[in-house]
Amino acid sequence: MSISNFGGSMQLDGRDLIAITDINGEVSGNYNTDAKLKTELWPLPLIFRVGIALDIIGGSDPFVGSENNRFTFAIDGVHPNDNTEKINIGGEYAWKETVFARIGYKINYDVEKWAFGVGVKVNVGSQKVGFDYALIDFHDLGKVSQFALEVNF
């Protein structure tokens, strides 16, 4: 469970709000004055998130024990104060914590719907290196490929 953006209101401020203004352009000899643009406060978009993950096969405290295989199911709900509620559902299969297959689905999102991914983690010397690939459906924008490189040291 998490609460994001908890706090007071925001307001733009700083030297970029200072503008040089000519009060009357028809009169020569008057000095340009510095004016500061006025900005208003606005509330932060507060977000409540709650979720659960469960190892179905293998992993820690599974329903079905397995030494080489693991399947984890996860679901979380997102409740923003300025938008519609959303639900994320996903699963990950791992073979010997080296080869991974992932699938996910997003409910009540404007663009994203489903995602599919694969990954691999190997030991390179004393470091663990991982590579992940995901194919994400962005509806009208088409399918997008996402790559990630992970180095643990």
Walk along the chain (153 residues) in steps of 10 and give the mean pLDDT of each run.
86 88 71 83 90 91 85 96 95 96 95 95 92 94 95 87
At residue 42, the pLDDT reads 87
Q: Identify the pLDDT of residue 62.
A: 75
Contacts 24+ apart (CB under 8 A), 35-41: 39/11, 39/12, 39/13, 40/11, 41/9, 41/10, 41/11
Let me know if 82 is exposed, middle or buried by CB neighbors in 10 A (0-12, 13-18, 19+).
Answer: exposed
Judge contact between 132 and 117, C-beta under 8 A. Answer: yes
- Reported as type and span, the H/E element at residue 53 is strand 47-57
**pTM higher than 0.75:** no
pLDDT on residue 126: 87
pLDDT at res. 29: 65
